[in-house]
A and B are shown apart, each in its own frame.
Chain A
Amino acid sequence: MSMSERKLTPDLFRPANLGTGKGEEITKPSLSFWQDAFRRLKKNRAAMLGLFAIVFIIVFSLIAPSLSKYGMDDQELMRANLPPKIPGLEKIGFLGVDGVDIRGVDQYEMKNVPAEDKFWFGTDPLGRDQWVRVWKGTQISLYIAFLAATIDLIVGVAYGGVSAFYGGRVDDVMQRVVEVLVGIPNLVVIILFIIILDPGILSITLALVITGWIGMSRIVRAQILSLKNREFVLASKTLGSTNGRLITKHLLPNTLGAIIVTSTFTIPGAIFFEAFLSFIGLGIQPPTASLGALIADGFRSLRIYPHLAIYPASIMCILMISFNLLGDGLRDALDPKMRK
């Protein structure tokens, strides 16, 4: 005690003026849930990378087709099966974008393609510009996926919400229906549905939705059921809130996190199934093409014209990975309990 004693003057032994809540001053300002979630998401580098790639691919799929003077279905057998040739990158051998095919023949020279014609992703067996087809296909795949996710969301939220909100008999009946539907493998439903309806953008989307909404409805129902009995909802109820107000002010905002996360995972699921259908011959019919259809076609001539499959496959992989990364990030940011 002797050391410190010397420095201490008696006047220090007066009651300290602590003021109010000195302890609280130091604590961080509390962020709202959404600000906090957004901050956590921004910190997640993988998720941000995914988001960036998704935005990039969406924007690019919209503008890229107009960079070529050819349309999606402009056939010209004279320039069929040209390997990719990208001006500027031609000199870099290992990229394989110099217009030389796998046998080492410069197809552009052989087929007397005018010098100004350079097909960045090559051409298909009908001489159509792959570049245009790939990006148009990306558009279509994304369109189907977003449409399916949106319908899933609307149907799922409505069904799950009504079921949980009214509870009792209504819930019982609605859940029996879901139980039966869940028992039917969605693989089977989707295939049957497409066989009947004939493949097209709309029928594929419908086939995806017909089983897809169930997952969303179950999540929404579970969330709302657990919220329904929480204090703040009960309090608001006793204070005479109308049902509409209860749903829009309390139940939906608190379920939104789970809804967003589920939707984010629906999209890659839809892209996957659309591609899957193309592979088993039930995909989008020519001349329209989705990413899946392009890959499926490309795989048929993979040995001779690898470029037909490689580009759409790469874009599809990037999209799928990006949506998964973003979904994981959103889940961690919005609802840490949902992990796994």
Chain B
Amino acid sequence: MEKLLELDNLHVSFQTYGGEVKAVRGVSLSLDKGESLAIVGESGSGKSVTSKAVMRLLPNKIGSIKEGAIRFQGKDLAKATEREMEKIRGAEISMIFQDPMTSLNPTMTIGKQIMEGLRKHQNMSKSEAKERSINLLKLVGIPNPELRVDEYPHQFSGGMRQRVVIAIALACNPKVLIADEPTTALDVTIQAQILDLMRDLQDKTGTAIILITHDLGVVANLAQRVAVMYGGMIVETGTVDEIFYKPKHPYTWGLLASMPKLNSDSKELLAIPGTPPDLMNPPKGCPFAARCPYAMEVCLEHMPEATNVSSSHKAACWLLDERAPKVEPPEAAVVGGAR
């Protein structure tokens, strides 16, 4: 089946005063129609950079796609012109940002902000666009949309604003919605509401979702497949079940171990010791080697390649090599006791 969106060996770099920051180093991913894929990984692993690269919204001049392709419905976005991208952004691929407090223009009514995309992509008249904006607000669960459409962002709460942002993103029925940590900035109860809303909307509209997060709990709730990112690379991908119940990469083990467990009485979080690699001078071998408790000499010198565990499950770790010692995931990384 034809993939909706496919990243092929994507490399993204930033030119900074200190030198070249290789933020994304060979990411390959794919997304089917209507599917939801989660990208997880700790801060600085390159999740946001990857998503901005797809939208071609990397900071001008300093950020650039060095290598690789972004195929969307057969077209390579990495080579698309700004004109072509303007037609795709908002209409075919939309994006939601982390902080709803800052992602709305404070001096423009939210109605105008929703209408902007509609008028651009669907050639609607002002009144049509307004009508549709009100409907969209209703769809995302804003009470009294007829009144609130003319209000300014500061008159909305954080959760409400994120709903507005979702309404903006979905205004033109895009095929892909990239949500970059859509709930991180919100209270826990609001988080659940927003996730429910997103799942609900996905059922209704069939939009494929790329959900970026460092919260594995969110992943279990919303995604079908998971990609685990570390140091600008994808270290493991698989279905939610495969990642949660049969993880193969030590970094994934670490992530799972650091996840608070509902059924355990220990409240303590197991953080992964150490810091992520310096992307200015990335390590030659496995990016996780400096922090990996199972690191072998080969890991320091040679990059592990993605190995198929099953048709849908891949991991890049030397432990999967037959010459490596057999290692069991630590107790803490086992989810729900099943294996």
Seen from chain A, the residues whose Cβ lies within 8 Å of a Cβ on chain B are 1, 4, 8, 10-16, 18, 22-23, 26-27
Note all chain B residues with C-beta closer than 8 A to A18.
289-290, 295
Residue B124 is within 8 A (CB to CB) of chain A in the complex: no
B278 closest partner in A (C-beta): A26
Of B289, B290, B295, most buried by chain A (CB within 10 Å of CB) is B290
With A23-B274, A23-B291, A26-B281: A16-B307 Cβ-Cβ less than 8 Å: no
Say which residue of A4, A15, A22, A23 sits within 8 Å of B296 (CB atoms): A15
Chain B, 278-293, CB within 8 A of any chain A CB: 278, 281, 289-291
Chain B, 318-339, CB within 8 A of any chain A CB: 318, 321, 323-325
Note all chain B residues with C-beta closer than 8 A to A11.
297
Say which residue of B278, B291, B323 sits within 8 Å of A10 (CB atoms): B323
With A12-B296, A15-B295, A15-B296: A4-B302 Cβ-Cβ less than 8 Å: yes
Note all chain B residues with C-beta closer than 8 A to A27.
278
With A22-B290, A23-B290: A16-B278 Cβ-Cβ less than 8 Å: no
Residue B317 is within 8 A (CB to CB) of chain A in the complex: no
Note all chain A residues with C-beta closer than 8 A to B291.
23
Note all chain A residues with C-beta closer than 8 A to B318.
13
With A1-B305, A1-B307, A26-B278: A13-B294 Cβ-Cβ less than 8 Å: no
Residue B69 is within 8 A (CB to CB) of chain A in the complex: no
A-B contact pairs, 30 of them (CB 8 A): A1-B305, A1-B307, A4-B305, A8-B298, A8-B302, A8-B323, A10-B323, A11-B297, A12-B296, A12-B298, A12-B301, A12-B302, A13-B296, A13-B297, A13-B318, A13-B321, A13-B323, A13-B325, A14-B296, A15-B294, A15-B297, A16-B296, A16-B297, A18-B289, A22-B290, A23-B274, A23-B275, A23-B290, A26-B281, A27-B278
Note all chain A residues with C-beta closer than 8 A to B277.
23
Note all chain A residues with C-beta closer than 8 A to B185.
none
Residue B54 is within 8 A (CB to CB) of chain A in the complex: no
Known: A12-B296, A12-B298, A15-B295; 16 extra A-B contacts, CB below 8 A, are A1-B307, A8-B298, A8-B323, A11-B297, A12-B297, A13-B296, A13-B298, A13-B321, A15-B294, A16-B289, A16-B295, A16-B296, A16-B300, A18-B290, A18-B295, A27-B278
A10 to B291 alpha-carbon distance, docked (Å): 22
A99 to B298 alpha-carbon distance, docked (Å): 82
